[in-house]
Amino acid sequence: MTEPAKLYFEDVELGDEIGPAIISVSDDQVVDFCSLWGNPAPNRFTDQEQAEKVGLAEPIVPGIMSMALVSRVLTDWAGAGTLADLDLVFRGTIPHNQPLHVGILISDTAQDESGNRVQCDITMTGPVPDRPYIIGTALLNLPSRS
């Protein structure tokens, strides 16, 4: 059975800001993710000693896990199946057990024969908002009410 749309194209306007959604990634979540991903512990994502061996101050959240978290924030807001493209740039390492602030800004909307597209600017920061861990864009395809 298909879920009803959470969000329609007509619900968003240029300049709308969503969030920040505040999330955190625990040590155990990273271990579980790495195991599912086929990169079992210990590794630079799960172990202090392994992280230091590759020049990191501490274990970090894997980039692919960070992308999944951003995707989840977007689809929790807009609905399943709406995310068409995600282009992220990592500006810093992402720590475990710290609040992560994911912000979304609607930067463009377009409605034509190819669909109802919403372009979003994405940021992920820690507690200091002017030092992003991630910046990027997402493209959503939203249903129309009509």
Q: What is the pLDDT of residues 13-70, one digit of tens each?
A: 999 999 899 999 999 999 999 999 998 889 999 999 999 999 999 999 999 999 999 9
48 domain-assigned: no
Q: Which amino acid is at 30?
A: V
115 domain-assigned: yes
129 domain-assigned: yes
39 domain-assigned: no
Domain span at 69? 9-25+61-141
> What beta strand segments (E) does 6-114 contain?
17-23, 83-90, 100-112
The enclosing domain of 77 has a CATH number of 3.10.129.10
Does the predicted model carry a pTM greater than 0.85?
A: yes
Q: Say how far apart CA 90 and CA 85 lie, in whole Å.
A: 16
44 domain-assigned: no
Percent of the chain residues past pLDDT 70, beyond the cut: 97
1 domain-assigned: no
Q: Say how far apart CA 24 and CA 101 lie, in whole Å.
A: 9
Q: Which residues pair with 108 in a beta bridge?
A: 119
∠ CA 2-14-18, rounded to 5°: 60
Q: Are 86 and 136 in contact (CB under 8 A)?
A: yes
Total domains present in the chain? 1
90 domain-assigned: yes
How many Å separate Cα 92 from the centre of its chain? 14
Rounded average pLDDT over 100-119:
96
79 domain-assigned: yes
Q: Say how far apart CA 104 and CA 110 lie, in whole Å.
A: 17
pLDDT of residue 4: 65
**Helices marked H in the chain:** 27-37, 48-53, 63-78
